Amino acid sequence: MTLTLTDVRLTYPDGDRRLVALNAVNLRIAPGELVAVTGPSGSGKSSLLAVAGALTSPESGTVRIEDTDVTALDQKGRDRLRRERIGFVFQQANLLASLTALDQLLLVAHLSGASRRPAEARARQMLDRVDLGGKAHKRPHQLSGGERQRVGVARALMGRPALLLVDEPTSALDHDRGEVVVALLRDITHEQQVATVMVTHDLQYLHLADRTVAMQDGRVIATQPAPA
C-alpha cells in the first residue's frame, strides 16, 4: 500500500512559542520501495515516523495509507491501523529477556488475537526469512546484536504490514552487521511489496535504498535515487 503525506505540519509547545517539527511535508512511498530518510538531529525525521505511523496527529495536512485517511481516524481507529497494517523496527530490538526468538513473535500474534497454530507457522517462516530459523529457541542474551535486530525485523513483519517504519536500525551495530540488516530490509521490501521508510544517520548504507530523502528544519529539502 502507498504512504502519502500531503502538506503535513506538526508543531510542539516550546515555552511561549511553538517549535516546528514538520513544515509542509509532501512525500509519497510506493509499495515495494525502501526510502532512506536522512538529516541532522532535529530535522524532523522522528516526527515524520511518528506521523506516518499514526502515533502523532499532525496539526494540518493529510496522511494516507492507500485509501485510508489516517488523520481522520479516532484513537481506536489509529490503534487498529497500527496493529493490522504497520510494522515498526526500532533502534534497539527491545526484546523481552525471558522470551525466546520464537516467543517474541508469538507474543505479537497473541496480542492481535491470532490462533496459536497458524501464528507459530508464520513466526517460524519469518525467522527462516531472516536466517534465524535455527535459533528460534534462543533468548536475547544468546544472540548477537545483529541477530537481535533481525528478530526485531521478523517481529515487525508478523502481521503482514503494508507499511514498515524503521528507526536507525544500524545505530548499535558494526558495519558488516549493519549492512546485513539494511540489505535484509531492502530484500523484504521488494519481495513483500511493503512501503518502507528507514530513518538513518549511516550514510554508508544509502546505496541499498531505492531512494533517499533529505530533511532539514522540518522540511524535505531533497529527494533523489539512492547512490550507486
Q: Work out the pLDDT band at 17, boundaries 50, 70, 90.
A: confident
pLDDT at res. 1? 77
Model confidence pLDDT, tens digit, residues 93-141: 889 999 999 999 999 888 887 888 899 999 999 999 999 999 999 999 9
Q: Work out the pLDDT band at 15, boundaries 50, 70, 90.
A: confident
* pLDDT greater than 80 at residue 183: yes
Mean pLDDT of 138-157: 94
One-letter amino acid for residue 13 of the chain: P
Report percent pLDDT > 90 for the chain. 80
* pLDDT greater than 90 at residue 225: no
Model confidence pLDDT, tens digit, residues 20-69: 999 999 999 999 999 999 999 999 999 999 999 999 999 999 999 988 99
pLDDT at res. 111? 81
Distance of CA 21 to the CA centre of its chain: 19
The DSSP output letter for 135 is: G
For CA atoms 110, 116, 122, 193, the dihedral sign is negative
* pLDDT greater than 70 at residue 84: yes
Q: Work out the pLDDT band at 228, boundaries 50, 70, 90.
A: low
The DSSP output letter for 195 is: E
pLDDT at res. 110? 86
Alpha carbon distances (Å) from 71 to 7, 8, 31, 52, 194: 12, 10, 20, 10, 21
Q: What is the chain's mean pLDDT, rounded?
A: 93
The residue that leads in pLDDT, 161 or 16, is 161
23 CB-near residues (< 8 Å, 6+ apart): 9, 44, 217, 218, 219
The residue that leads in pLDDT, 115 or 214, is 214
Q: 3-94+152-225: what fold?
A: Rossmann fold (3.40.50)
pLDDT at res. 104? 95
One-letter amino acid for residue 151 of the chain: V
* pLDDT greater than 80 at residue 227: no
pLDDT at res. 30? 96
Q: Give the cell for residue 184.
A: 535484509
Q: Which residues of 43-59 are buried (b: 16+ CB within 10 A; e: fewer)?
A: bbbbbbbbbbbbebebe
Q: Where in the chain are the domains?
A: 3-94+152-225
Q: Give the cell for residue 186.
A: 531492502
- E strands within 80-194? 86-89, 163-167
pLDDT at res. 199? 96
